[in-house]
Every structure is written in structure tokens, then in C-alpha cells.
Amino acid sequence: MSSIDDLLSCYLKQNQELFGNTLYLEKTASMPEQNDTQPEPAMRLSSFYEQIRHCEQCSLGKTRTNFVFGDGNENADLVFVGEAPGKQEDLLGIPFVGRAGKLLDRILEAINLKRSDIFICNVLKCRPPNNRDPLAGEIEQCEPYLQTQLEMINPKVIITLGRVAAKTLLHLDLPLGQMRNNTYLYHGIDTVVTYHPAALLRNPNLKKPAWEDFQRIRDTYLITE
């Protein structure tokens, strides 16, 4: 018999002498108690929202109407990340509800997705006044919130909409046209870069390549046979 078997048999004998046929085992790290189990992502996300919704880490906390946390399915396989709330989003507290959001809804529908199938949020949770570009310091303050959201949801794929989201998550400062044909990894999660729907509204020539990106997303992550 090996020494491990000797030790085990000795331990079992002692245990039997002390406690009869009831076996008492010490709790180890690999034996979680009932209440150690992870809460559902939805519960964790909503309590995270409660923790951060009054954020005033940067000056946008003073000028916003609503903190725009994110919206959709907390168990989603696909998470879309935009730039920052615009006027409508700030008023309603929900991301992508303005013109760009309506276009995104139509694109999602074309690949058989509803808003309730995905989770959608932004790099910044508060609207920059007059829709100016986010400042580097604002992104730096807000990025950990996005990082935690992505960790909690742990989707199959992240889709970044526009350069700001791609640059923030992937630390790549390249023209979008150069980034969009690749799949990157963000903390082990596939990440696909595509155009922001507002860019498609400004420049309809981008609709064709954007549609190719969404077909690729559909064929890679939605068709499972």
C-alpha cells in the first residue's frame, strides 16, 4: 500500500473510533458552502448598477440627466459597446434609443436578434455635453465599470461600435477600416470591431461593409449546428 493509502486508512480508523460510522470531513476551499455559490449574473449586475449609479468621479456626473448603465439581457452571448450616451439616452437613461439606436435595432433584426437577446452599453456612462468626444481622463475613470460589466456577463463575443470603443478595449489606435476584419481577444473573449451606427447615418457607403461585419457575427456566433 502507498503511504497515502496508509494515511487515509489510519484517518478513517481514527474517525470511526471517535465518531462511529459518521464521517466528518473538514471543509476545504474546493467544497463551497451553499451560500458561497455565485449569484445569477442579473442579480450581480443590478447590484453593481446600484453601487455605481450615483458616480461623480468625473465632471460628467454633474452635467448628466441620467446615468446610462446599459440595457438588455444580462446572460447575453453578445455584448455591444458604443461610445457614450447622446441626448435621448441621457434623457431616458437607456443606451442607443436615438436615431443611431433605431438603425442598430434594424440591423439586429436583419440577423434575427432583438434588443432583449443582447446586452448593450457604452464606454462612458454619462453624456459629454453637446455630444463632444469623450476625454481621455473620462474614459480612464469610466473604463473599470465597463470592464466589470463584461466580466459579469462573460459573453461569447463583444462587438465594439466605432473607434472609441475599439480603442478603449483593445488599446489599438488604427483606422476602423483596418481593424474590422479581424477577431481580437479582450480578456479571453472574442471581440469584433465594426462601425458605429451614427457613422452609417453620416456616410451610407459604410453600410455595405457594416452589413458584412454583421453577417460574419451571425455566421460565427449565432448559427450553431
Binding interface with ligand URA (CB under 6 A): 82-86, 89, 95-96, 98, 100-101, 122, 198
Which residues, 6 or more positions from 164, have their beta carbon under 8 angstroms from its beta carbon? 83, 84, 123, 133, 134, 139
CB of 200 to ligand URA, least distance (A): 12
Cβ distance to ligand URA smaller for residue 83 or 138: 83
CB of 47 to ligand URA, least distance (A): 23
By Cβ distance, which residue is nearest to ligand URA?
82
Cβ distance to ligand URA smaller for residue 15 or 91: 91
Cβ distance to ligand URA smaller for residue 82 or 155: 82
Pair 86, 41: CB distance under 8 Å: no
Burial of 119 (0-12, 13-18, 19+ CB in 10 A): buried
Pair 180, 213: CB distance under 8 Å: yes
CB of 170 to ligand URA, least distance (A): 16
Cβ distance to ligand URA smaller for residue 66 or 148: 66
Q: What gap in Å lies between CA 77 and CA 118, rounded to an integer? A: 7
